[in-house]
Amino acid sequence: MNDSSATTGPGRHVIFAPVAGGARVDVVARRISEAIALGLLADGEQLPSESELAVALNVSTVTLREALSSLRQQGLVETRRGRGGGSFVRAPADASIARLRRMLREYGVHELREIGDHHVAIAGTAARLAAERASADHLTRLEALISELADAGSVGDRRRADGRFHIEIAAAAQSTRLTRQEIDLQGEIGELLWLPFGEAVQREEVVAQHKEILAAIASGDGKRARECTEHHIEQAIARLIHFHLQLAKR
């Protein structure tokens, strides 16, 4: 696993942060499955022990075991016995284009716009704060994620690099809540933003936009960072709505 495939300290803190009191099994399972789907937990990575993970998430051992059982049934976690055993991440196969298109058809235009409005608010604020608070390490990682997107050979790899770029900006803003919300948004709509293969998403354009956002953050220009991020997301949502309307006509 290379350095760019692992999430930073702030990002990991959010993944393993305490879940709201009385959390249900499905809430715990979703928290971990989102992190796996987004590549925040790498394929083959060993999760903390059951006791450590239960304490970190502030849930009972019974709840955690049921959540891990659910993840095993989904093929996202495997358990190995014996010395060196434990629970290990299994990265899911990328969703088929047919399934993603069915998912997009089920959304309404108003719902997509609302998700876009929410994402603009979260990511734009995170970018502004990152311009004030980002460390040199954050900037280095953001640059690495841009390179990862530029070099990604599959749509799934591009989507994960794009999503982690925005999550890393929220982490650079040093806000646990913004990072958590960015992870949730990427889990909700991240796959759809890279639909369809080569028909709408121009990787070079997205890379250029990421570079523009990073340049504003690195220069400490919070206003510019927010504007660039908002434009980037608004454009992506507009493209998605356009494609949704095309699918509705078929």
Task: Check whether residue 42 and residue 120 sit in a common domain.
Answer: no
CATH, residue 81:
1.10.10.10
Q: Is the pLDDT at 10 greater than 70, yes or no?
A: no
Task: Check whether residue 111 and residue 31 sit in a common domain.
Answer: no
Task: Check whether residue 163 and residue 187 sit in a common domain.
Answer: yes
Give the mean pLDDT of 11-15: 72
Task: Check whether residue 74 and residue 175 sit in a common domain.
Answer: no
Give the mean pLDDT of 213-221: 98
Task: Check whether residue 191 and residue 118 sit in a common domain.
Answer: yes
Looking at every residue in the chain, the average pLDDT score rounds to 88
The pLDDT score that the predictor gives to residue 196 is 57
Task: Check whether residue 188 and residue 228 sit in a common domain.
Answer: yes
Residue 28 lies in domain: 3-89
Asked which of 45-54, 71-80, 192-201 is least confident by mean pLDDT, the reply is: 192-201
Residue, of 88 and 3, whose pLDDT is higher: 88
Q: What pLDDT, in 10s, does the model give residues 146-190? A: 999 999 888 888 888 999 999 999 999 999 999 999 999 998 888
Task: Check whether residue 186 and residue 228 sit in a common domain.
Answer: yes
* Residue pair 70/33 in contact by the 8 Å Cβ criterion: no
Q: What pLDDT, in 10s, does the model give residues 105-136? A: 899 999 999 999 999 999 999 999 999 999 99
Q: Where is the domain boundary, 60, 89, 118?
A: 89
* Residue pair 4/145 in contact by the 8 Å Cβ criterion: yes
Q: Where is the domain boundary, 89, 112, 145?
A: 89
- pTM score, two decimals? 0.84
Task: Check whether residue 137 and residue 35 sit in a common domain.
Answer: no
Q: Where is the domain boundary, 37, 65, 89?
A: 89
Q: What pLDDT, in 10s, does the model give residues 78-110? A: 998 888 789 999 987 776 778 888 888 899 999
The pLDDT score that the predictor gives to residue 198 is 45
197 pLDDT tier (thresholds 50, 70, 90):
very low
How many folded domains does the chain comprise?
2
Task: Check whether residue 151 and residue 194 sit in a common domain.
Answer: yes
200 pLDDT tier (thresholds 50, 70, 90):
low
Give the mean pLDDT of 32-58: 89
Q: Is the pLDDT at 234 greater than 70, yes or no?
A: yes
